[in-house]
Structure 1
């Protein structure tokens, strides 16, 4: 009886997840149906509103030719380097602000001022110093990553309860042991939240920078399609941007769940 009674409980969670996924698909399916209906009714010319069949065909051609994969690889490489540089700098700066009163006194006011400027506002100045080559793209995206990672790292470390730090002193932890056994596990949720925000900001900023000044990448594919008046290419690029952004977020959520189990083990 206990085994049979447990089956509904085991099925409840997967069914709820499936229901959430199904509910989330309602709006995209409705938009797709409206898109197809508008094409069938010829509300707009095909050059302005390409039919779904043409978009699907272009997607297949770009994928099989390797062109779409090449553009995505270039864009993801830029994001990877920028997350590494901006995230590393953000972790270091946020840790300094969270652990050192002197750092907060000297650096925090200036950082809070600089953080108010959007990345778009930095681009003209970056162009003057770096030109429009690869350095511009990596620098702009790194700035987009730096701010959320720094803010969340600072808040996570500054918010660690004092009694928790006292435990490390009681056990006579060294500085590396305190960082690994106390600071990192306690601040991990905030650190990972900053990383997720940084990666998402990096992906959005990448598209903007590639739209502005690039000869390769997924943003450039959109510009190229617009210049050729082939809006099916623009839609393909938009779909690719959305799919990759969703995949990155899902991967980070999975990593966050794995981090939660490590955090429990650390404590």
Structure 2
């Protein structure tokens, strides 16, 4: 509801519902309607379990310890995939972004490889590395590599030439320009790529955990599918979303630390 209040100067001031409140109320309203539809029989539990059943299932899995083990296993795979994929992306982006010979050698093959669907590599990864943890981590690493590489490369190449010239004027060496000018200027683009990579990592994890997984959130989903347990499936999907949002929140906090020198962040 909008309330209009008259001011002495003839203007009106509108008091609106806070946006933060709307962001909270809209998902709660959706969950409430979902529960109502289940309670009234409009939505069968065999089609989609009610929120109350999902919460009850979460309690059961927490009591048995299965939920904690699944979260730890999936988070470990994502963590290792991010470590290897992001490290490689930084190295290749810096080499191809700073050096013309690096672009000639590195960028063209990467631009070609990024058009290949990562999940399409699953059969080859199974043939090469078996059905253990290796293909899962490699799949996640490949998925997170390209978003960070592309954004960091673009950030390095998009550095303002005036800043580079200013660094040269004050006597900075090539290494000094890279550390104090080029990489800080590319940091916003790199953090955008990092956010994309983290989002992709959880999406790829869903496919990765179909490779003979014996633990993890994907393992719970595969088990639940066989027994038509929609409450477990919905719970696992919610877990994927929550873990992804928490990871994104960490990147946002990192942005505030690393980009505190930018006016857009300093005024927040």
Matches within 5 A, 1:31-110: 31-110=30-109
Report the Cα distance in structure 1 between the residues aligned to 2:173 and 2:195, rounded to whole angstroms: 30
Give structure 1 stretches of 5+ with no counterpart.
1-14
> What corresponds to 1:189 in structure 2?
188
Matches within 5 A, 1:187-266: 187-262=186-261
Report the Cα distance in structure 1 between the residues aligned to 2:243 and 2:109, rounded to whole angstroms: 34
CA 1:100–1:174 in structure 2 vs 1: closer, same or farther (change >3 Å)?
same
Q: Show CA shifts across 1:28-65 (max 9, x none).
A: 23332332222222235433332322211111222233
Q: Is the 8 A contact 1:185 1:263 kept in 2?
A: no
CA 1:74–1:262 in structure 2 vs 1: closer, same or farther (change >3 Å)?
farther
Give structure 2 stretches of 5+ with no counterpart.
1-14, 264-268
Ranges of 4+ aligned residues in structure 1 off by more than 4 Å: none
Report the Cα distance in structure 2 between the residues aligned to 1:71 and 1:59, rounded to whole angstroms: 12
TM-score, normalised by the number of residues in structure 1:
0.86
CA 1:207–1:19 in structure 2 vs 1: closer, same or farther (change >3 Å)?
farther
Displacement of 1:26: 4.2
TM-score, normalised by the number of residues in structure 2:
0.85
CA 1:19–1:124 in structure 2 vs 1: closer, same or farther (change >3 Å)?
farther
For the residue of structure 2 that corresponds to 1:172, the secondary structure is: coil
Displacement of 1:81: 1.0
Q: Is the 8 A contact 1:126 1:136 kept in 2?
A: yes
Displacement of 1:263: 6.0
> What corresponds to 2:117 in structure 1?
118
Displacement of 1:262: 5.0
Report the Cα distance in structure 1 between the residues aligned to 2:83 and 2:258, rounded to whole angstroms: 19
CA 1:70–1:159 in structure 2 vs 1: closer, same or farther (change >3 Å)?
same
Q: Is the 8 A contact 1:50 1:231 kept in 2?
A: yes
Q: Is the 8 A contact 1:148 1:195 kept in 2?
A: yes
Displacement of 1:168: 2.4
Q: Is the 8 A contact 2:35 2:52 kept in 1?
A: no
> What corresponds to 1:7 in structure 2?
none
Report the Cα distance in structure 2 between the residues aligned to 1:240 and 1:222, rounded to whole angstroms: 11
For the residue of structure 1 that corresponds to 2:228, the secondary structure is: coil
For the residue of structure 1 that corresponds to 2:260, the secondary structure is: helix
Greater helix share, structure number: 1
Instruction: Tell me the number of residue pairs that the alignment of Structure 1 and Structure 2 aligns.
Output: 249
RMSD: 2.1
Displacement of 1:131: 1.7
Q: Is the 8 A contact 1:188 1:263 kept in 2?
A: no
CA 1:80–1:262 in structure 2 vs 1: closer, same or farther (change >3 Å)?
farther
Matches within 5 A, 1:137-216: 137-216=136-215
